[in-house]
Amino acid sequence: MSDDVITTVTEIVATEFGLPAAEVGADVDLSSLEGADSVKVLRAVAKIERTYDIELEDDQVFGLKTVRDAATLVVATLAEKEPSGGGR
Amino acid sequence: MHRQVGGPLLPAAEVDAAVGTFLRAGRTRWDEFDFDWSQADVSRLTEGQRSAVEFITIIEDHLPGYFALYDEHFPLNESVERDVFVHNRELYHFSIRWAQEEDTHARVLYRYQVESGLADAESLRQSLAVEGQKKFAVDYADAVQFFTYPLVQEKATQLYYQNLRQVIDEPVLAQILNRLSRDEARHFTFFADMLQRYLIRYGDEVVEPVRAVIADFRMPLADTIRGYWRWALKIADTARYDHTDAYDYLIKVLNRAVDARSDKVTELVSFISACRTINA
């Protein structure tokens, strides 16, 4: 997976949660982060969608646990959208 | 298929008492003819406020689906024992009035959209049918769950209407939201009364079913409207919208119902408090 996607997703999550990016690890459970709540998670997902111009399936969104999950989903969705492309 | 839901039932006399309190509180009723529709003006709403009106109209318009739940799970026919029928008949005194009030909400919001210029009547009828035709499924095993779920849902809705009212600068919609909010508050009070009676009578026996409702809680139509959460975020940008705000009120009901918390009730309160912050 592109490190760029993980970096971008991490920055988005950190911004929405009001945390330094360094505190948001790729494999940290999002619900365990300080100040986490469902609205912040969904706002982060909405921003990720806008950033990559994609729309994620609802059941996929509610299954996200970590930044890596989100980044993996972004890469997969981009690949479906542009089979010959390489994402952002 | 109509099949009586399981789990303990309150004695019919207790349901009667709760229904009586509900009906007494709602003696002053209102309807769509109480508004001066000539003053309804969509141009006084922001884009986000318009979206919020469209959203809550869909939610309220799904009343036939919500009402069907009670009809299905508390049947009034020969399939149930006489005592169960007697219980269900008392509950029906509530559900039919509750449905009438919710139907008024749907009709008023529909009419608001038409009278204010937000939508034309025929297009709105057709668009509401898209979600309206989808089945609203809440498959609970215990009767108490059919009072716990709407307790949260009604309180969450009331809080949103109050919050939306605070930012609305359009007199007709403001009046509508006031009326809706008061009705939802009464509905919440009925469900809270019922849950409290269940807890007092059955104690720990109903704790796990209540817990299960919160563990899987989703607002009405969250599973049927595609991209519900995106829309929910959008209307939350207009006025605070977070159904977990209602969990605090559920905890108050739990605390009122028990003189001394059992381990199960204590664990339940802790669980709901945790869901208040991290549940999706």
Mutate to test the interface with B, among A17, A31, A33, A38 (most CBs of B within 10 A): A38
Residue A58 has pLDDT above 90, yes or no: no
- pLDDT-derived band at B67, boundaries 50, 70, 90: very high
Distance CA B197, CA B87 (A): 14
Distance CA A9, CA A52 (A): 10
CB atoms near residue B230 (< 10 Å):
17
- Joined tokens for residue A33: 């982060």
Residue B16 has pLDDT above 90, yes or no: yes
| Mean pLDDT over each residue of chain B, to the nearest integer | 93
- pLDDT tens string B107-147: 999 999 999 999 999 999 999 999 999 988 888 999 999 99
Mean pLDDT for the stretch of residues A67-72: 92
**Chain B hits for A55, Cβ within 8 Å:** 227
Residue B40 identity: A
pLDDT on residue B216:
85
Mean pLDDT for the stretch of residues B75-87: 96
**Chain B hits for A39, Cβ within 8 Å:** 233, 236, 242
Instruction: Among A2-16, B60-74, B215-229, name the one with the lowest average pLDDT.
Output: B215-229
Whether residue B221 contacts residue B55, with contact meaning beta carbons closer than 8 Å, is answered with no
Residue B206 has pLDDT above 80, yes or no: yes
- pLDDT-derived band at B25, boundaries 50, 70, 90: very high
Bridge partners, B6 (sequence order): B142
Q: Do B233 and A31 touch (CB under 8 A)?
A: no
Q: What number of H helices and E strands is found in chain A?
A: 4, 0
Q: Do A39 and B236 touch (CB under 8 A)?
A: yes
What 3-state DSSP class applies to B6? Answer: strand
Among the partner-chain residues B227, B230, B280, the one whose CB lies closest to the CB of A38 is B280
Which residue has better confidence, A38 or B47? B47
A57–chain B Cβ distance below 8 A for any pair: no
pLDDT on residue A88:
44
Closest CA to B232 of A17, A41, A64, A24: A41
Residue B280 has pLDDT above 50, yes or no: no
Residue B6 has phi, psi (to 5 degrees) of -90, -165
ipTM attached to this prediction:
0.70
Residue A37 has pLDDT above 80, yes or no: no
Instruction: Among A19-28, B2-11, B102-111, name the one with the lowest average pLDDT.
Output: A19-28
Which residue has better confidence, B145 or B244? B145
Distance CA A9, CA A12 (A): 5
Instruction: Among A32-41, B108-117, B156-165, B170-179, name the one with the lowest average pLDDT.
Output: A32-41
pLDDT on residue A84:
55
Mutate to test the interface with A, among B218, B223, B230 (most CBs of A within 10 A): B230
Q: Do A58 and B279 touch (CB under 8 A)?
A: no
Q: Do A39 and B227 touch (CB under 8 A)?
A: no
pLDDT on residue A86:
46
Which residue has better confidence, A81 or B191? B191
Residues 6+ apart with CB under 8 A from B15: B87, B90, B91, B94, B194
Phi/psi class of residue B269: alpha, beta or left (left: φ > 0; alpha: ψ in -120 to 50)? alpha
Residues 6+ apart with CB under 8 A from B158: B181, B184, B185, B188
Residue B262 has pLDDT above 50, yes or no: yes
Mean pLDDT for the stretch of residues B33-43: 98
A62–chain B Cβ distance below 8 A for any pair: yes
Among the partner-chain residues B228, B233, B277, the one whose CB lies closest to the CB of A43 is B233
**Chain B hits for A66, Cβ within 8 Å:** none
Q: Do B278 and A36 touch (CB under 8 A)?
A: yes
- pLDDT-derived band at A14, boundaries 50, 70, 90: very high
Among the partner-chain residues B228, B242, B280, the one whose CB lies closest to the CB of A41 is B280
Closest CA to B92 of B72, B68, B76, B69: B76
Residue B84 has pLDDT above 50, yes or no: yes
Distance CA B258, CA B235 (A): 37
Bridge partners, B142 (sequence order): B6
pLDDT on residue A75:
93
Residues in chain A: 88
Which residue has better confidence, B218 or B149? B149
Residue A87 has pLDDT above 70, yes or no: no
Distance CA B126, CA B118 (A): 15
